[in-house]
């Protein structure tokens, strides 16, 4: 089943989701690139930062979600936005000077196999920078997996898209073997969330969305309620706040001439 994205739900925690992009971009040393691509740009709110940093560059945002691209095009930012699958893009695109991918590659099965193609799209001396979540052993994901595997849900959820990533050393070795100068690191954020069932709100806009959409209407309500209850137990509210630990992995590679 192909799931769809909801830009409004995704942007509920726009500041928290945007901070890793800013910190990733800070390590990219490009001075005056001519072409910049945001691969998996989502609703385009972060792509605009690329245009602000390099105002003379031709900036393009690419995403496979028509809903996300429609939202991105609402802003008159001077940035081109296109609907395309990144696996197709990497085989057809020309050379770019800066290629950024934020919280996208985790949705591509075997995305390590995609790295040679991504590096090949970057011009000599150019930059490839990406960030992927690495919190898949946390309750926010484990609970979803366990609940989705229960008998009444399994027949609907067994083939849904599930994100995954690798340890930092794996990305470093993969990029170094391609002849890049590589900087890889990880950060665990402690997001302080408020409001009713904030962890459910977070995951229902990203990692859990394919599972929720795969369920028929007569099962989705029961799944959501049980999911909410288990998340409340795993992430208790204290003083009106819920803390969500979130580990992310960053990689910045310069393609050496």
| Amino acid 9: pLDDT | 55
Q: Is the model's pTM score more than 0.85?
A: yes
Percent of the chain topping pLDDT 90? 79
Residue 160 resides in a domain: yes
Domain holding 30, by residue range, is: 7-255
pLDDT digits 0-9 by tens, 35-90: 999 999 988 889 999 999 999 999 999 999 898 899 899 876 789 999 999 999 99
Residue 153 resides in a domain: yes
Q: What is the mean pLDDT of the chain?
A: 92
CATH code at 177? 3.40.50.150
- Residue indicated by tokens 């590679």: 253
Q: Is the pLDDT of residue 200 over 60?
A: yes
Residue 59 resides in a domain: yes
Number of domains in the chain: 1
Cα–chain center distance at 99: 14
Residue 125 resides in a domain: yes
Residue 1 resides in a domain: no
Selection from 32, 87, 89, 30 nearest residue 61 by Cα: 89
Residue 2 resides in a domain: no
Instruction: Give the best-scoring range by mean pLDDT among 62-66, 169-173, 205-209.
Output: 169-173
Structure tokens at 51: 């245009």
Residue 41 resides in a domain: yes
Helix pair angle (217-234, 139-148), 10° resolution: 140
Residue 190 resides in a domain: yes
Query: Among 58-62, 66-70, 96-100, 251-255, where is mean pLDDT lowest?
Result: 66-70
| Amino acid 57: pLDDT | 97
| Amino acid 77: pLDDT | 73
């Amino acid at each position: 089943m192909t799931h769809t994205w909801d830009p409004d739900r995704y942007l509920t925690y726009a500041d928290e989701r945007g901070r890793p992009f800013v910190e990733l971009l800070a390590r990219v040393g490009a001075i005056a690139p001519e072409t910049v691509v945001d691969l998996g740009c989502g609703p385009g709110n972060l792509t605009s930062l690329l245009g602000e940093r390099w105002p003379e560059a031709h900036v393009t945002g690419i995403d496979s979600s028509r809903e996300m691209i429609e939202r991105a095009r609402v802003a008159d930012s001077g940035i081109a936005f296109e609907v395309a699958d990144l696996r197709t893009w990497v085989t057809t695109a020309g050379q770019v000077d800066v290629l950024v991918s934020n919280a996208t590659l985790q949705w591509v099965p075997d995305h390590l196999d995609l790295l040679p193609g991504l590096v090949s799209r970057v011009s000599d001396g150019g930059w490839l920078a990406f960030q992927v979540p690495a919190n898949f052993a946390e309750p926010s994901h484990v609970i979803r997996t366990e609940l989705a595997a229960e008998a009444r849900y399994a027949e609907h959820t067994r083939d849904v898209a599930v994100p995954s990533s690798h340890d930092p050393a794996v990305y470093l070795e993969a990029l170094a073997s391609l002849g890049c100068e590589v900087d890889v690191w990880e950060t665990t954020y402690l997001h302080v969330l408020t409001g009713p069932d904030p962890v459910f709100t977070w995951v229902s806009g990203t990692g859990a969305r394919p599972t929720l959409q795969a369920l028929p209407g007569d099962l989705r309500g029961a799944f959501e309620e049980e999911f909410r209850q288990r998340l409340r137990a795993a992430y208790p509210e204290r003083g009106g706040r819920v803390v969500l630990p979130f580990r992310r992995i960053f990689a910045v590679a310069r393609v050496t001439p």
